Structure 1
Amino acid sequence: MASAAFQGSEDIAEARHLARSFLTDLQKMHGVPVPDHAAGMVQLVVSELVTNARKYAPGPCLLSLEAADGAVEVTVWDSEPCLPVAQTTDPNRVGRHGLEIVMAVCRSFEMHREPVGKRIVAAVALTENPIGDEAGDQTC
């Protein structure tokens, strides 16, 4: 498990660095294979969730990463009690696609109100190609 608290906009790069370090340790120290695709998705999810927390919630946010059941669980807590709402898909909308992207690439996605703020947990599968095979098979 890895975790950190963030308080400023420069923290998004630090959060991605924490994710890369966690994934490297997962492979080297624990022998868990982490395909490049999965590593990229974990970093994307971390970046989007920490960005949203920094953008919409006052105060710090907390990030934790944990490997469980063939996935990396990315958990972000922030002080804003309102749960985010994914907007309907709109290719003409500029920006505000982060939550939509996270929900599309994750095996599971949960939001919970906490006594203070909220906690979002997204699990990224550690498989080579979780969406389909090389020929474009989209079955899950």
Structure 2
Amino acid sequence: MRASTRRARRTARVEYTLPRKAASARWARQLTTGFLIGSRTPPEAAGRLDEAQLVVSELVTNATRYGRGRCRLRLSTSAGRITVEVRDDGVGMPVMRRPGLESESGRGMTLVHGLARRLNVSAAPGGGKTVRAVLDAA
């Protein structure tokens, strides 16, 4: 067997449009896995697969639960970073809450904030927002 001579690109980017359905978070995790272990992304990106899947799952869940219509998932890798962006047409902004000990939800944005090197939310022209989380890939 011969080793591949194809080198991973320094940067790679994909974008997906997902329906407003509960299953979209599962689909987004699968798409993230395919992207990060693919031959076009740096090998170190696959080492952060679990963290990236969790961030993607939380952001897509929020977009499909609180947004209106479809959401857009954009994944990119560059210079030791994985960037996850989720855009939706919802009017509300994400909030980090302090859920009670018995609460079954409300921890998602806190988890994302803890995993991301940088987390920001920007209002989109014409309505909606984009939530961007940047993770270290090394």
TM-score, normalised by the number of residues in structure 1: 0.81
Verify: 1:24 aligned to 2:34, yes or no: no
CA contact (8 A) 1:2 1:18 kept: no
1:89 to partner: Cα distance: 6.2
Task: Please tell me the root mean square deviation across aligned C-alpha atoms, in Å.
Answer: 1.6
* Alpha carbons of structure 1 residues 117 and 31: separation in structure 2 relative to 1, 3 Å: closer
- What is residue 18 of structure 2 aligned with on the other side? 6
Show CA shifts across 1:2-36 (max 9, x none). Answer: 111111222111111110011012xx334432354
Structure 2 counterpart SS, 1:33: helix
Q: 2:136 aligns with which of 94, 118, 125?
A: 125
Stretches of structure 1 that go unaligned for 5 or more consecutive residues are 128-140
1:81 to partner: Cα distance: 2.5
CA contact (8 A) 2:85 2:131 kept: yes
Show CA shifts across 1:81-111 (max 9, x none). Answer: 2211101365443311001100011111010
CA contact (8 A) 1:81 1:114 kept: no
The one-letter code sitting in structure 1 at the alignment partner of 2:18 is F
CA contact (8 A) 2:45 2:82 kept: no
- What is residue 57 of structure 2 aligned with on the other side? 47
The number of equivalent residue pairs is 124
Please give the alpha-carbon distance, in whole angstroms, between the structure 2 residues aligned to 1:89 and 1:69.
35
* Alpha carbons of structure 1 residues 30 and 51: separation in structure 2 relative to 1, 3 Å: closer
- What is residue 87 of structure 1 aligned with on the other side? 97
Bigger shift: 83-92 or 66-75?
Answer: 83-92
Q: What is the identity percentage for the equivalent residue pairs of Structure 1 and Structure 2? A: 27
